Amino acid sequence: MPTDSPIRPDPLPLPARPGEGRTDLVGLSRDALRAALIAAGTPEKQARMRTAQLWQWIYQKGARDFAAMTNLAKPYRALLAEHFTIGRPELVTRQVSADGTRKYLLRVAGGHEVEVVYIPETDRGTLCVSSQVGCTLTCSFCHTGTQKLVRNLTAGEIVGQIMLARDDLGDWLRPGEGMGERPRLISNIVLMGMGEPLYNFDAVRDAMRIAMDGEGIGLSRRRITLSTSGVVPEIARAGREIGCMLAVSLHATTDAVRDKLVPINKRWNIAALLEALRAYPKLSNSERITFEYVMLRGVNDSDEDARRLIRLIDGIPAKINLIPFNEWPGAPYQRSSNRRIRAFADILYKAGYATPIRTPRGEDIMAACGQLKSATERARKSKREIEREAGPQAP
Ligand code: SAH
Ligand code: SF4
């Protein structure tokens, strides 16, 4: 049974409320932080070192209060506290699934809400992070796509999701401990929560650079996966400026079906998408692209689809992630049967593709892929609107 526990009050003193005129340091790029420190009176010669020290306190030790930063002189700590804060998104609720999955509902500036999901596995712990409140795209099988309210998250709000999960999991470096000494609970990050990350490029890039930086959150870029619905012009830029692993929501093998499932296909079709992927600069045998493929009964799950998929992605080092459709109230599709999913996977496997079938996690708390949608976001499309967008394919 899910445990629906309201979050306990934070025992740490909050350094400041937003709007008190101090700058929140979370999410600032190294250059921006350095400039902010100099503007606040840090001698230029020291600024680089202070930036590194602050990053370690903020992103590795989880410090919330400048007073705790014992390797900085007391008057300097006071100067920092005068000008800056170290913020967090506000935690609204935290749910724990029977399978250990945790779903956090966070409130960000303006009262908007986003969801973050932590998925523990035997060999890793993955945090599924959101990039936007809602999503401007309207994929017909995705709950987030029915949410009307949308705003981009800031870099601080994106990194803040990781930090808040680390607070909850007690996943910060312990006193005296070095980076890499102990496996961390959050070992992987996937940008697969709410939103289309490539439509919030700059904030996602800045946040992921902090996540990948050895003095920041400190995860290897191979442990960070950005999932896109196929914003073709931004794919090469993501390779150049972020350089993390890429997952692509393909979900169909013909343009006619993909137009219905992932409407951005009308703008950039399958051929254009695959061309961008072939050129993804980081592409190599060791850096496969993950193709995500949601299994929808009678829509995209035939043997013929599987064979067409193999032909389409021929030549691209790839892994295919089959996602059994996660249902949500009013959804116009059904999940393919297990037998169908296995038969589909088998065809791909015989063609040489690693084809993990994603086990739905946290179903009892609606934490599974594509089910995220802020609970208080009541303005939603009607069932009829969803069905109209889904078109005649829907069962
Ligand atoms: N906007 C990005 C990332 C977020 S969605 C994208 O679309 O890629 C993460 C993955 O979950 C995507 O592959 C998405 O298509 C898939 N998804 C969305 N709704 C789903 C559902 N109801 N069941 C299963 N997968 C779903
Ligand atoms: Fe947006 Fe991704 Fe959902 Fe499509 S699948 S509506 S792009 S979050």
Q: What is the mean pLDDT of residues 375-381?
A: 43
Q: Which amino acid is at 139?
A: C
What was the pLDDT predicted at 377? Answer: 46
Q: Is 137 in the pocket of ligand 2 (CB under 6 A)?
A: yes
**Residue given tokens 């493929």 in the structure block:** 293
Phi-psi region of 281 (alpha: psi -120 to 50; beta: other; left: phi over 0): alpha
Q: Is 295 in the pocket of ligand 2 (CB under 6 A)?
A: no
Lowest mean pLDDT segment, chosen from 129-138, 176-185, 260-269, 328-337: 176-185
pLDDT of residue 395 exceeding 60: no
Phi-psi region of 4 (alpha: psi -120 to 50; beta: other; left: phi over 0): beta
Q: Which amino acid is at 210?
A: I
Q: Can you tell me which atom of ligand 2 is nearest the CA of 262? A: 4
Pocket residue to mutate for ligand 1, from 194, 323, 389, most atoms within 8 A of Cβ: 323
What percentage of residues in the chain have a pLDDT greater than 90?
A: 73
Distance of alpha carbon 157 from the chain centroid = 12
Q: Is 228 in the pocket of ligand 1 (CB under 6 A)?
A: yes
Q: Same CATH topology for 23-85 and 90-390?
A: no
Contacts of 358 (CB under 8 A, 6+ apart): 321, 322, 323, 324, 369
Q: Can you tell me which atom of ligand 2 is nearest the CA of 194? A: 8
What was the pLDDT predicted at 7? Answer: 41
Assigned CATH for 90-390: 3.20.20.70
Q: Whose CA is nearest to atom 1 of ligand 1?
A: 196
What average pLDDT does the chain have?
Answer: 88
Q: What is the mean pLDDT of residues 255-275?
A: 97
115 is catalytic: yes
Q: Spell out where 313-384 has E strands.
A: 318-324
For the segment 274-323, what is each residue's pLDDT rounded down to a tens digit? 999 998 866 655 689 999 999 999 999 999 999 999 999 999 999 999 99
Q: Is 139 in the pocket of ligand 2 (CB under 6 A)?
A: yes
Q: Is 229 in the pocket of ligand 2 (CB under 6 A)?
A: yes
Q: How far apart are CA 103 and CA 105, in angstroms?
A: 7
Q: Is 145 in the pocket of ligand 2 (CB under 6 A)?
A: yes
Shortest-distance ligand to the CA of residue 147: 2
Phi, psi of 90 (to 5 degrees): -85, 130
Q: How far apart are CA 312 and CA 270, in angstroms?
A: 9
Give the distance (Å) from ligand 1 centre to CA of residue 372: 10
Q: Can you tell me which atom of ligand 1 is nearest the CA of 227? A: 8
Q: Whose CA is nearest to atom 8 of ligand 2?
A: 195
Q: Whose CA is nearest to atom 4 of ligand 2?
A: 139
pLDDT of residue 266 exceeding 80: yes
Q: What is the mean pLDDT of residues 103-127?
A: 92
Q: Are 344 and 301 in contact (CB under 8 A)?
A: yes
pLDDT of residue 328 exceeding 90: no
What was the pLDDT predicted at 180? Answer: 84
What was the pLDDT predicted at 281? Answer: 66
Pocket residue to mutate for ligand 1, from 369, 371, 372, 386, most atoms within 8 A of Cβ: 369
Closest CA to 249 of 264, 239, 237: 264
369 is catalytic: yes
Give the distance (Å) from ligand 1 centre to CA of residue 191: 10
Q: Can you tell me which atom of ligand 1 is nearest the CA of 247? A: 8
**Residue given tokens 């006071």 in the structure block:** 78
What was the pLDDT predicted at 369? Answer: 60
- What fold is seen in the domain 23-85? DNA polymerase; domain 1 (1.10.150)
Q: Is 192 in the pocket of ligand 1 (CB under 6 A)?
A: yes
Residue bearing the bigger pLDDT, 354 or 366: 354
Q: How far apart are CA 221 and CA 214, in angstroms?
A: 11
CA distances from 2 to 114, 123, 237, 374 (A): 20, 23, 41, 18
Most confident of 23-27, 287-291, 366-370: 23-27
The DSSP secondary structure of 210-223, one letter per residue, reads HHH-TTTT---GGG
Q: Are 335 and 299 in contact (CB under 8 A)?
A: no
Most confident of 104-113, 129-138, 264-273: 264-273
371 confidence band (pLDDT: 50, 70, 90): low
Q: Can you tell me which atom of ligand 1 is nearest the CA of 331? A: 22
45 confidence band (pLDDT: 50, 70, 90): very high
CA distances from 1 to 96, 183, 225, 275, 364 (A): 9, 29, 30, 46, 7
What was the pLDDT predicted at 157? Answer: 97
274 CB-contact burial (10 Å; exposed 0-12 / middle 13-18 / buried 19+): buried
Q: How far apart are CA 362 and CA 211, in angstroms?
A: 25
Give the distance (Å) from ligand 2 centre to CA of residue 353: 25
Contacts of 372 (CB under 8 A, 6+ apart): 115, 117, 130, 143, 144, 193, 194, 366
Domain regions of the chain by residue span: 23-85, 90-390
For the segment 221-248, what is each residue's pLDDT rounded down to a tens digit? 999 999 999 999 999 999 999 999 999 9
pLDDT of residue 389 exceeding 60: no
For the segment 169-203, what is each residue's pLDDT rounded down to a tens digit? 999 998 888 888 888 999 999 999 999 999 999 99
Two structure tokens written together for 259: 């137009």
pLDDT of residue 15 exceeding 80: no
Lowest mean pLDDT segment, chosen from 13-17, 155-159, 355-359: 13-17
66 confidence band (pLDDT: 50, 70, 90): very high
Shortest-distance ligand to the CA of residue 293: 1
CA distances from 337 to 296, 305, 347 (A): 9, 15, 16
Q: Is 105 in the pocket of ligand 2 (CB under 6 A)?
A: no
Q: Are 282 and 239 in contact (CB under 8 A)?
A: yes
What was the pLDDT predicted at 376? Answer: 46
Q: Spell out where 16-174 has E strands.
A: 23-24, 84-85, 90-96, 102-108, 112-120, 125-128, 132-133, 151-152
Cα atoms in the Cβ-side hemisphere of radius 13 Å centred on 216: 23
